[in-house]
Chains A and B, each alone.
Chain A
Amino acid sequence: MKEAIIIKNKIRTYRFLKGELTQQDLANLVQVSRQTIIAIENFQYSPSLELAFKLSIIFECSLDELFYVDKEIPSIK
């Protein structure tokens, strides 16, 4: 059976590094609801590529610094 990959993130850490940026402020910056930020932080929702890029621009980091997967994904040879 196909196993779902859970995309995790370090948004909580980066919010802290940005001077304890609130979830609401971050939501306003990327134009989503606070509930969406909460869902992303709790790994309940994987954002679209567009939203992921917006977040990485705000936190001034690359996508793979912000998002990661615990499991190794088999590479195509």
Chain B
Amino acid sequence: MSYQSKKSLYSIVSTTLMLVIYSFIFYSRYQNGFYDNMSIVRFWSIFILLLIPLSVLTTILSEVFIGIALGIKKTLSQNKDDLVEVIDERDRLIELKVSKISQHLFVFGFSVALLSQYFELSLHYFFIIIIVFGFLSEVFEHVLNIHYREKGIR
């Protein structure tokens, strides 16, 4: 498995863990009546507004952690060249293809969320669907990244 594939795999794990832990903490606070006097829109706005910097922070911490791990591996490894991160045309092609597909998935999720409002479901469904599809599109992006790196891209 290449360095980039390992990086994607690590991103899947860190993103999933972050979202699960964050949702669990937020849900516990919700159960304790912390957000009782709030409207649904305000509640989900707080959830999303806190989620954005948290996911940025997770990405930064992941990069730092991967950088440290790579530094240690480089020091110990015999073949140092193999651990150098080179971004070339194949990487850019994979990135382009993968981000396009994941964007389509998110747009599909957004359409489903809008459909939930058409059928007059609770606003909770609208936000949950958007968050779930946002998460799925990010995971799918990393999975496709690994797939194209291992199986090839044309």
Residues of A within 8 A of B (CB): 4, 24, 27-28, 31-36, 39, 42-48, 50-51
Number of interface residues of B (CB under 8 A): 16
Q: Does B120 contact A (CB under 8 A)?
A: no
Contact B151 A44, beta carbon cutoff 8 Å: yes
Looking across the interface, which residue of chain A has its beta carbon closest to that of B82? Answer: A34
Known: A44-B153, A46-B154. A36 touches B88 (CB 8 A): yes
Bound CA–CA A34/B149 (angstroms): 12
One digit per residue, 1 when the CB lies within 8 angstroms of any chain A CB and 0 when it does not, for chain B 56-99 equals 00000000000000000000000101101010111100000000
- Is there contact, CB below 8 Å, between A42 and B154? no
Known: A32-B90, A33-B91, A39-B90. A24 touches B154 (CB 8 A): no
A residues within 8 A CB of B90? 32-33, 35-36, 39, 45
